[in-house]
Structure 1
Amino acid sequence: MVNKLHLISGLPRSGSTLLCALLRQNPRFTAAMTSPVASLCGTMHKKMCGGEFAVFFDDAKRAAMLRGVFDSYYAGIQPSEVVFDTNRIWTGRAALLKALYPESRIICCVRDIGWIIDSVERMLAKNPLQLSRMFNFEPGSSVYARVETLMNSEKGLIGLPWSNLREAWFGDEAKRLILVPYDRLVRAPEQTLRSLYEELGEPWFSHDLDHVAYDEPDYDALLGMPGLHKVRAKVEHQARKPSIPPDLFAKFAHTQFWEKPELNVHRVRIL
């Protein structure tokens, strides 16, 4: 049974896989890349609220069934262990998470939108013979067209989590959020982890920042983007210049709202 749960969410290509790779070094922690739990909960929730069987469910039963998804997926977890479930959908379900796990926090990995787009484009360039699922395996579109797809607020790889994050940031459950900026994580990993442990009320565990291991080759191959979730062994900042057109990079240059104190009306914790 899952007794202690936190969620990892936020924006893509912003360090969530790296954070999971680090956290899972702690034997008390269970963490991995995007899990199917959010999708399973969403499907079950819909079935319990609509259709011919909805009459058989009240709020208490719905909550028990949804917690059961976590318990089943993470079967074998010991009471003293902590589960970190990853999905970019979680920021859009902050109120539901409060109802299911009142003590849970949503850890949001963030990064400048221009650099996220740049990271996606670099992955595509590394695999020119592959077609990516995130673009419906369609060949031949320009970077400008791909950005429009990525930034779609309903289903885009960046646009949907970007919308969810802003909703959570300005919503009533904003106090549940913990923001982890990508640059901070790679430039000062130990300090960032210590701050996270403190915020979660967990005893410190000494992490090996020079031998980090994580890879999901089968999942990445299914997406048509080999190496998408492969983490480098050493945590460090690697300086580079943008590979996308400068006008695209400039278009999103001022979108990091978490860096503007006047917009942090709920005093979200930023590590």
Structure 2
Amino acid sequence: MDLFPGAKVIACVRNVAWVMDSIERRYRANPYEITRLFNDDTERNTVYSRVETLAQRNRMVGYPWTALKEAFYGEHASSLLLVDYELLAQAPQKVLPLIYQFLGEPEYAHDFAQVKYDAPEFDEALGLHGLHHVRPQVALQRRETILPPDLFEQYSKLSFWHDGSQSRANVVAARPTVNA
């Protein structure tokens, strides 16, 4: 805030279990690549060791999760907007105006059926082909998880942004549903 007074940060958030599921899917789709996500066979040998490794506080999922949690409860939280991935994917035409409102910027017309993004060079260097390939149309694709039930349940509990009672951060998210 000293360097950029009035700066605002937007973070797209997703249930951590689904993040782990997505990374595991990419890992399994590239069985012959040696990814740089893991340092040795011990870290990559099972879905349990892979997910646990990624969740460490200095790794691909754990570090951004802890940094975001620090910002969410930190002194500059009012400059932070968290946007739920599922809500954005389901209703981008309703979510984007809220983002522009947070930024204090005029709205811009978007074409949600013509999205183009890919970073094959980055993914190749990481050894995880297709990690940043974005489908051309914004839409939520429902699927079954490939994680074992205990892992999925464990990481589903990490969505701290659903309880903003002790934070000044701004959040655009649907209320979480409770399964009977």
TM-score normalized by structure 2?
0.90
Show the counterpart of 2:175: none
Q: Which of 52, 56, 59 is residue 152 of structure 1 equivalent to?
A: 56
| Mapping 1:109-258, distance limit 5 Å | 109-136=12-39, 138=41, 141-153=45-57, 155-258=58-161
Q: Which of 84, 99, 104 is residue 2 of structure 2 equivalent to?
A: 99
| Distance in 1 separating the partners of 2:98 and 2:41 | 43
Q: Does 1:270 align with 2:174?
A: no
Question: Unaligned regions of 5+ residues in structure 1, if any?
Answer: 1-97
Answer whether contact 2:73 2:168 (CA < 8 A) is retained: no
| Distance in 2 separating the partners of 1:119 and 1:135 | 16
Answer whether contact 1:150 1:156 (CA < 8 A) is retained: yes
- How many percent identity over aligned positions? 40
| Distance in 2 separating the partners of 1:229 and 1:137 | 24
Question: Could you tell me how far 1:267 is from its partner in structure 2?
Answer: 3.0
- The DSSP-based 3-state class of the residue aligned with 2:12 is strand
- The DSSP-based 3-state class of the residue aligned with 1:99 is coil
Structure whose CA Rg is larger: 1
Larger RCO (alpha carbons 8 Å, 6+ apart):
2
Answer whether contact 1:197 1:204 (CA < 8 A) is retained: yes
Answer whether contact 1:127 1:226 (CA < 8 A) is retained: yes
Answer whether contact 1:131 1:138 (CA < 8 A) is retained: no
| Distance in 2 separating the partners of 1:166 and 1:119 | 21
The runs of at least 4 consecutive aligned structure 1 residues that moved more than 4 Å come to: 137-140
| Distance in 1 separating the partners of 2:117 and 2:155 | 30
| Distance in 2 separating the partners of 1:212 and 1:245 | 32
TM-score normalized by structure 1?
0.61
Question: Could you tell me how far 1:162 is from its partner in structure 2?
Answer: 1.1
Question: Unaligned regions of 5+ residues in structure 2, if any?
Answer: 173-180
1:117 aligned partner, one-letter code: M
